[in-house]
Structure 1
Amino acid sequence: MPSQKQISWASLGEEYLGRARGVFLVAGTGSFSASGAKAKFQVACGETPVVRFSDFTENPQLSEITAGVEKFCASGCDLIVAIGGGSSIDIAKSVHILAGHDASDHASLLRGEKDLTPPAADRHFIAVPTTFGTGSESTQFAAVYIGDAKYSLSHEAGLPEAYVLDPALALSAPPIVRASTAIDALCQAIESYWAKDATEESRVYAAEAIPLLRDNVKAYVTGDDLSVATNMAKAANLSGRAINISKTTAPHALSYGITKRYGVPHGQAVALTLPAFFSLNAERGDADTKARMGEIFELLDVRDGAGAKAWFTALLTATGLKTRVREIADISPEDARALAAQVNLERLGNHPITLTEDDLTTALLT
């Protein structure tokens, strides 16, 4: 796996922006300015030419990425900088990975029907997150949609070679955005720890992230303490590192259908079903899974699956998030079965126990 380094705004300017022929900046239309990132970027950038791309939505469509690739290829830039939340960074990753491929092949490349080729060796890619949730700056994955179908574009080139973690950038985000992103980081860390594909390295990252998230999520959502935001930036980055190795499991697999059908932010969508799996994994898992669940309960400072579910549910309420799908939509058993039937089977294969469609339906209706 390619190595990464954390850099400062000053290093971003001296090592990258100041040496670039041109910067292809991927940033949203609102948070880029509101977070304070715009002012810091302009100082670091100096006189280096900048081409900005902002024509994308929260759940990036392939057509938007193709437009971004076209603009990047025409720009002459040799440095891509993503500043924003997970969507901005996902767009930049996708542009970096797909540039150099024919636009007519983008859908086939996304579906895994054709092989990706490495980006140009002289092109650089840096990420600056303004929310702390997905840890996208420390993963090689990008979520891309073709219509309602969600795909994961994965290539080692999607891992930024460097990133800036500036805790102050996230403090301008409204509490509900902080809540959804922070809870996503917690869900990722927990799922990573229990995933079948977890390794000793990924569990080290997750085991460091979980207590940080446990102790800081509520204060991060409800206050403006920079030290708390610093802990959240570190925890989200660790969560991203963990999930980059282990990948996600059932709660994330279920979340995409919830988001598309009911318009629920990603972190909130994952959190709606994750509590259902605490006891399920502990009760039905093999000896290794039972041991891992016990370690998760210890990291959360609870006794068992019931205690973990109660704690997690209380955290959701304290941060203003919903605790069940029924609180968001009038979901029927038929709706739940339809959502369960759409789940990505690859992610189910990474879950620590074998799950049935009935298990997934129950998780959606609980």
Structure 2
Amino acid sequence: MNKFMIKPEIIFGEDSLNYLQGREYKKFLIVTDRSMVQLKLVDKIIEKLPKDSEIQIFSEVEPNPTVDVVEKGVKELFHFQPQCIIALGGGSSIDACKGILYFGNKLFESLGKENGNMEFIAIPTTSGTGSEVTSYSVITKGNSKIALAYDEMLPKVALLNPEFMKTLPKKIIADTGIDVLTHGMEAYVSQNRNPFTNAIALEAMKLIGANLLKHYENPKDLIPRENVQYASCLAGIAFNNSSLGINHSIAHSLGAKFHISHGRSNGIVMPYVIEVNDEAEELYGEIASQLGLPGETPQEKRKVLKIYVEMLKEKLEIPKSLKELGIDFEEFKRLIPEILKDIKNDICTTYNPNSLNDEEYVSLLLKIYFGE
């Protein structure tokens, strides 16, 4: 039996924050990072909440949120006991909030307490992870990333507001934008794909192809900014229902071990995964056609798609390889056994088109390092 689920409710547009005015709760917990507080973006949320409500801000989230941050958040959740929890920020803040809610609920259950069925609202401030519409959360533990997937972590409401993306640094636009393309591509070639995810993933990639560079070059231009935000959300819905692949498994491990942003890790890895996933050749060909790329046969189209990704990365100033990024080869070589272990244990590996053995994984990792 298969399942396709569309959740959460999505509120979008320049006035989307007005949704918060109708939340008649007495206690709100906002999970975010310090930059959201310093940039006064948290104030934009607070000013929409009921004036007589009690508001607590947990702003200790950092990039690649750790188990320690989640534990601190669970304590905050347990002591404050809000009726509504709001995640504000990029994928890290939303992922951390999901972890806090999931483990917080387990704590409440273990103590025989009711959690009051808190409303979970996700407000992304970047366009990349799609975390606002997925039941996935990636938490860092030591030098590894743990990918969690539980329906209980799915937000009830996602608020998409393009204002938050107007002043993003170009590097973040590049990293998160290439992440959207990775999500759409892996959802489309996944062994767990279905007609619903196919249609949504293709539309997400089409929007990225037409708008990402425009958004990168002029972040204040509203239409490309909105379209990239929609693409991020659509790709999130697609992969939440189809799963991902080894592009993400490898990126999770590289990001944790070498402190590379998630989107940049995915971008570096993507061309080499397209090359190795020959079982999905026809599907990559369909993606190439959707993006308006040339080619007569699926084989030609897959090659052209790989070249397209390489050219897009160059324009977005994303490194071609780990070597170009400045990663030390001896350190990389030493960590290969750990990286292999991470890949095999990652839930994203399950539905990848090709099943690789250790020798093939090592060969792939060396290509990713040297860019060959």
* Fold shared by both chains (TM-score > 0.5): yes
Write the mapping of 1:236-255 to structure 2, written as runs, cut at 5 A.
Answer: 236-255=232-251
TM-score (normalised: structure 1): 0.88
C-alpha distance in 2, partners of 1:131/1:32?
A: 16
Q: 2:18 is matched with which residue?
A: 10
User: Which residue does 2:197 correspond to in 1?
Assistant: 202
What is the Cα deviation at residue 33 of structure 1?
4.8
CA offsets, 1:278-325, max 9 Å, x none? 23323xx2xxx3332221221232232221111111111111111111
> Could you tell me whether the CA contact under 8 Å between 1:168 and 1:229 is conserved in 2?
no
1:109: which partner in 2?
A: none
Equivalent residue in structure 1 for 2:285, among 294, 302, 311: 294
Give, in whole Å, the separation in 2 of the partners of 1:336 and 1:97: 31
* 1:55 to 2:60 alignment: yes
Aligned counterpart, 2:218: 223
Shift of 1:234: 0.3
Distance 2:183 2:248 in 1: 8
| Separation in structure 2 between the aligned mates of residue 32 and residue 184 of structure 1, nearest angstrom | 25
Unaligned runs of 5+ in 2: 296-300, 368-372
Q: Distance in 2 between matches of 1:140 and 1:343?
A: 20
Is the 1:281–1:293 Cα contact (8 Å) retained in structure 2?
no
Q: Do residues 269 (structure 1) and 265 (structure 2) align? A: yes
Shift of the 39–102 alpha-carbon distance from structure 1 to 2, 3 Å rule, reads closer
Aligned to 2:305: 308
Are residues 1:173 and 2:168 paired? yes
Q: CA deviation at 1:341?
A: 4.4
Report the secondary structure of 2:34's partner residue: coil
* Map 1:33-48 → 2, pairs under 5 A: 33-34=38-39, 37-47=41-51, 48=53
Question: What percentage of residue pairs aligned between the two structures are identical?
Answer: 23
Higher mean alpha-carbon deviation, 334-343 vs 243-252, is at 334-343
Q: Which amino acid aligns with 2:175?
A: S
Mapped contact 2:281–2:302 kept (Cα < 8 A): no
Aligned AA for 1:91? A
Which consecutive residues of structure 1, in runs of 5 or more, have no partner in the other structure? 106-116
Q: Say which SS state the counterpart of residue 56 (structure 2) adopts.
A: strand
Q: 2:60 is paired with a residue of what secondary structure?
A: coil
Shift in CA distance, 279/37, structure 1 to aligned 2, threshold 3 Å: same
The aligned amino acid for 1:255 is A
Partners of 2:6 and 2:113 lie apart in 1 by 13
Using the TM superposition, give the Cα deviation of residue 347 of structure 1 relative to its aligned residue in structure 2, in angstroms: 2.8
Q: Secondary structure at the match of 1:227?
A: helix
- What is the alpha-carbon distance in structure 2 between the residues aligned to residue 118 and residue 312 of structure 1? 50
Helix, strand or coil at the partner of 1:344:
helix
How much has 1:118 moved relative to structure 2?
A: 12
Q: Which amino acid aligns with 1:340?
A: L
Q: Which amino acid aligns with 2:356?
A: L
Indicate how the Cα distance of structure 1 residues 32 and 131 shifts in structure 2: closer, same or farther if over 3 A, else same: farther
Q: Does the Cα contact within 8 Å between 1:325 and 1:365 map onto a contact in 2? A: no
Aligned residues: 346
**Partners in 1 of 2:354 and 2:225 — Cα distance?**
35
Q: CA deviation at 1:2?
A: 6.7
Change (3 A) 1:40 1:52: same
Provide, for residues 197-250 of structure 1, a one-character-per-residue CA deviation record: whole Å limited to 9, x for no partner.
Answer: 112211111011011011111111221211111001100000100111111101
CA contact (8 A) 1:348 1:355 kept: no
User: Residue 83 of structure 1 aligns to a residue in which SS?
Assistant: strand
Output the aligned Cα RMSD. 2.3
**One-letter code aligned to 2:87:** A
Shift of 1:70: 1.0
Distance 1:2 1:221 in 2: 29
Equivalent position of 1:340 in the other structure: 340
TM-aligned CA deviation for residue 128 of structure 1: 0.3
SS of 1:81's equivalent in the other structure is: strand
Q: For residues 196 and 116 of structure 2, what CA distance do their matches in structure 1 show?
A: 28
Counterpart in the other structure of 2:158: 163
| Deviation, structure 1 residue 139 | 0.2
Are the equivalent residues in 2 in contact too, given 1:96–1:119 (CA < 8 A)?
A: no
Q: 1:20 aligns with which of 18, 22, 25?
A: 25
| SS class of match (1:322) | coil
Q: Distance in 1 between matches of 2:308 and 2:114?
A: 45
1:154-183, CA deviations, whole angstroms, 9 ceiling, x for partnerless residues? Answer: 221211111110112012121101110111
Q: Alpha carbons of 1:119 and 1:298: their partners in 2 closer, same or farther (altered >3 Å)?
A: farther
Q: Give 2:82's match in structure 1, choosing from 77, 92, 99.
A: 77
Please give the secondary structure, in 1, of the residue aligned with 2:29: strand
- Which string of whole-angstrom CA distances, capped at 9 and with x for unpartnered residues, describes residues 82-115 of structure 1? 0100011111111222213339x9xxxxxxxxxx
Q: Which residue of 2 aligns with 1:186?
A: 181
Distance 1:158 1:132, change over 3 A: same
**Structure 1 residue aligned with 2:229:** 233
Q: Distance in 2 between matches of 1:43 and 1:244?
A: 32
Report matched runs for 1:23-172 at 5 Å: 23-34=28-39, 37-47=41-51, 48-102=53-107, 120=115, 122-172=117-167
Cα 1:92/1:348, change in 2 over 3 Å: closer
Output the amino acid matched with 1:362: S
- 1:160–1:100 CA distance, 2 compared to 1 (3 A): closer
